[in-house]
Amino acid sequence: MSTQNWGIIINPKSGKKKFRRQRRLLFKTLRNNNITFDYRITQFVGHASEIARYYVENGYKNILVLGGDGTVSETVNGIFSAKIDNTADLTLALIPRGTGNDWARFWGLTRDGKKSLEVFLRGKTQIIDIGKIDYSIEKKQFSHFFINSIGFGLDAKVVDVTHKLKNFFGSHSFLYFIALLTAVFTYRSHKLSITSHEKTFRSRMFTMNIANGCYSGGGLKQNPNAVPTDGLLDVMLASVPTFWDIITAITALVRGKFLEHHIISSFRTQKLQIICDRKAQIEADGILINGFNPFTISILPNAIKMLVP
């Protein structure tokens, strides 16, 4: 692990009950290991992006996130929207403190602060891929980056419901499953067309997940074979289900056999374009995105280094 200066981004709302104690332990550990650092605490939605952009544009090569999937995703967006020549020489580290922690889960990182600090001190760097979605708003083009996965349809609806439930119950991993059960019986499907080098088709979409990492929704595997080091996106699309299909698909999802269900189509690609029949809900790493057709999703291979066990 590099002992160069680290820029730390802290989200106090992620696991806030233990926030102060964990922050004190982190700072003490860094000082005891002669690791220099600066830190910023996020104050509002999107603040992590601004902090990350500031860090890398001012010469920081190492960014540590103390937070959840959303904070990591905001950080990635700040890094990749920054005015710098090369992101591949940057290192991203994570101490997970969020609700779902799906990106952390892939790497075996847990909310155990002491174990996460051990990984930070003794871990190795792994070059990883980053996803990107391009879309338009009022005829202007925008880009959003994602580290774990992006979802359309029901996938995004579940994220929307989860955010609303958090306002009443706080951040708990079981909220994803409650949100899934709530949304699955009320969501209306979309007609869409998908174009890629590997596959072109039109379908009525119930849900779709495009993944760099295999976990989503607090530990579920919609794309169980997704690996963020292979330069590919794993695409899963579910057609309109019957009531019985919904029951059996949820069972298959929990059992890790989702792709075997008859309503599921899947393939792998580096780039695809999606056109929906009406404005669709979209989420990227649990962050809701507002945008319009066409949506172009691509992978940026070997984009940045990450500190892993």
In DSSP terms, 269 is beta-bridged to 233
Q: What is the pLDDT of residue 156?
A: 85
Domains annotated on the chain, with CATH: 6-122 (3.40.50.10330), 132-301 (2.60.200.40)
If you ran DSSP here, which 8-state letter would residue 216 be given? B
Sort 169 into a burial class: Cβ within 10 Å, 0-12 / 13-18 / 19+: exposed
Nearest to 289, CA basis, from 145, 75, 82, 103: 145
Amino acid at position 169, single letter: F
Torsion, Cα 281 268 256 258, to 10 degrees, reads: 60
Rounded Cα–Cα distance for residues 212 and 148 (Å): 5
Rounded Cα–Cα distance for residues 173 and 98 (Å): 9
Q: What is the pLDDT of residue 113?
A: 77
The CA R_g of the chain, rounded to the nearest whole Å, is: 19
* Distances 301 to 228, 232, 272 between C-alpha atoms, Å: 9, 8, 15
| DSSP secondary structure string for all residues of 224-293 | TT--TTSS-EEEEEEEPPPHHHHHHHHHHHHHT-GGGSTTEEEEEESEEEEEESSPPPEEETTEEE--EE
Q: What is the pLDDT of residue 142?
A: 94
Residue 20 has φ and ψ, to the nearest 5°, of: -65, -40
Size of the chain, expressed as the number of residues it contains? 309
Q: Which residues of the chain have pLDDT under 70?
A: 1-3, 14-18, 163, 166-176, 179
Sort 146 into a burial class: Cβ within 10 Å, 0-12 / 13-18 / 19+: buried
Q: Residue with structure tokens 């708990």?
A: 172
Strands 91-96 and 292-308, by their bridges, are: parallel
Q: What is the pLDDT of residue 174?
A: 65
Q: Is 104 helix (H, G, I), strand (E, B) or coil?
A: helix
Q: What is the pLDDT of residue 112?
A: 80
Is the peptide bond preceding residue 96 cis, with omega within 30 degrees of 0?
no
Rounded Cα–Cα distance for residues 227 and 29 (Å): 31
Q: Is 18 helix (H, G, I), strand (E, B) or coil?
A: helix
Q: What is the pLDDT of residue 176?
A: 67
**pLDDT tens, 235-255?**
999 998 998 998 899 899 888
